[in-house]
Chain A
Amino acid sequence: MKTNKRYPNFLQRITSVWYRHFRVYTKNLITNGLPPFLEPLIFLAGIGLGLGNFVGINTMDGLSFLEFLASGLMVSTAMMTSAFECSYGTFIRLEFDRVYDGMLAAPLSVENIFMGEILWAGSKGFFFSLAVLIIIRIFGVINTPGSFIVPLIGFLTGLMFSSLSLFITSIVKNIDQYNFYFSGFLSPMFFFSGIVFPVSSLPLPLRVISELLPLTHSVRLSRALTFGRYEWINILDVFFILAFTTVFAFVGIRRLRKKIID
């Protein structure tokens, strides 16, 4: 058996998959590119300004409600977009459009395809995070220098939730079963990960659960960077995100491989 490898190298293979998703996404620039800016606008206006009037000044860990909420939204939006991309998006590519079957005829492995996809979901997380950042800076909600780095946390959040979503995709039997994932896991997580109120105000059992939720760690990192309030626990947050991503990406891709390769 020969061993000389003439096919594209690992990085070329991953980025070629990334490029496919990039081209498909940027094809409809307005319909795909506008919502990430509109969403935080509506959210901050509706919840932040409306509900914020009933919340006392500087009661949220010493921040105004709008500051508190905005720093959380920068990562929750990354969660949502990457979760959609690798649940419904992946399922449709897998079962309906058979995009992966087409890709697998080229020199790409199942692992390459999904690593490229995770990388793309991370990029989308970065972009959605950036969109929120742009909005909150335009409206002067947050003006700290640290907030510029938060889209990187959006990137990590995107990696984390796309890995989890690929794992979920490897389990679901039909597309309706994602309802459990979204309504039963992601939506509740939004409320218990410290985006709309501090986790510290929860009773102890709920605080423990909150610490196990992946989004909690992204939110804490986002806030630490935005307001320059670093704590030792932030190192653990980074480790949590990296470990969570690695485990779910590994198991998810392995299971998808079994589904795709006969």
Chain B
Amino acid sequence: MKAPIISVKNVSKTFYNVKAVRNLSFDVKEASCFGFLGPNGAGKTTMMKMIYGKALRDDFYRSSINVMGFDPAVDSLSIKELSGVVPQEDNLDEEINVYQNLFIYSRFYAIPHDEAKKRIENLLDFMELSDKKKSMIKELSGGMKRRLIIARALLNNPRLLILDEPTTGLDPQVRHTIWDKLRRLKKEGVTMLLTTHYMEEAFEICDQIIIMDKGEKVLEGNPRKLLDKHIEKYILQIINKKKAFCLEKSLNPKKVRKEETGEMVIYASDDLKYLENLANCLNSSDFYIRQSNLEDLFLKMTGRSLNEDQ
């Protein structure tokens, strides 16, 4: 088997007295997409930052991070030379226009001028930003800024792309465009590390995910397999809890798992027929039955209520 492109062992990170990451270990295969899921404050971003040296791990000698053969705490420049980073917050240079943003960034990699110009044209084209070449950053929409940051991260033809919530806050069209681009990059052999809140995003592009909560790994695996293994296939969702009274008496707790939040209640089961029978006593407008998704798994694993860090 080929050696993993990233190998993380027993990594922790403490801020003052908060443990942001606790004893995390994982391997990432080349040309795959590896996703981190978890609520805000779960330690996803901190883990990403430790991969390219923006954050330093605790206990240097008892843990290890190996990224393409380099340790980010020792030689982050070698890692960054081979990687592209899309941070959570937009950090484009507001004082210069779209083209200059990319051109000045190409100087950081010392890409020869002619080559840089060619790559910039290609990337603007790839990210569908060619007609915004001369625009100032302020004039761009949120989706354009994100696409430009991804273009910037691709300037050095990276082997590894680190994406911290690449589509948070964007409309569905832009999200789908970005997912499409990321899938294309993956096909070309780029390894991707991604954090997200969107279960759909993880499902669409990730081969392997980790669900994190309070700095710890809760689950790891292929998203589809995790669904099969850790959550019931179907969900009966009732928007108004009070309406659920009629089915409570006939409930068989062995066949169904019940979860309540606020005004809503859900019943999860592998048996679709059983859920349909349960729902017989309800008006058709009061419930719906659907397949379970990664979000249900996520909520099951990390809890439905907010914790103090969120």
Contact B70 A107 (CB under 8 A): no
Contact A107 B108 (CB under 8 A): yes
Contact B87 A8 (CB under 8 A): no
Cβ of A184 under 8 Å from chain B: no
- Please choose the segment from A15-23, A54-62, A214-222, A223-231 that sits at the chain B interface, where 4 or more of its residues have CB less than 8 A away: A15-23
Those of A9-29 within 8 Å (CB) of chain B: 12-13, 16-17, 19-20, 23-24, 27
Those of B237-291 within 8 Å (CB) of chain A: none
Cβ of A149 under 8 Å from chain B: no
Contact A2 B69 (CB under 8 A): yes
Cβ of B107 under 8 Å from chain A: yes
* Separation of A191 and B152 alpha carbons in the complex (Å): 48
Which of the residues B75, B87, B96 comes within 8 Å of A23, measured between beta carbons? Answer: B96
* Separation of A108 and B79 alpha carbons in the complex (Å): 11
* Separation of A262 and B87 alpha carbons in the complex (Å): 15
Contact A105 B85 (CB under 8 A): yes
Cβ of A211 under 8 Å from chain B: no
Which of the residues A6, A24, A103, A262 comes within 8 Å of B15, measured between beta carbons? Answer: A262
Contact A262 B80 (CB under 8 A): no
Which of the residues B78, B92, B104 comes within 8 Å of A7, measured between beta carbons? Answer: B78
Interface size class of B (residues with CB under 8 A): 35 or more
In the complex where A1-B69, A97-B91, A105-B153 touch, is A27 in contact with B96 (Cβ < 8 A)?
yes
Q: In this complex, which of A19, A99, A107, A108 has the most chain B Cβ atoms within 10 angstroms of its Cβ?
A: A107
* Separation of A210 and B290 alpha carbons in the complex (Å): 79
The residue of chain A having its C-beta at the shortest distance from the C-beta of B71 within the complex is: A1
Those of B91-147 within 8 Å (CB) of chain A: 91-96, 100, 104-105, 107-110
Contact A24 B93 (CB under 8 A): yes
* Separation of A262 and B52 alpha carbons in the complex (Å): 12
Cβ of A137 under 8 Å from chain B: no
* Separation of A262 and B53 alpha carbons in the complex (Å): 9
Contact A2 B70 (CB under 8 A): yes
* Separation of A19 and B104 alpha carbons in the complex (Å): 8
The residue of chain A having its C-beta at the shortest distance from the C-beta of B105 within the complex is: A106
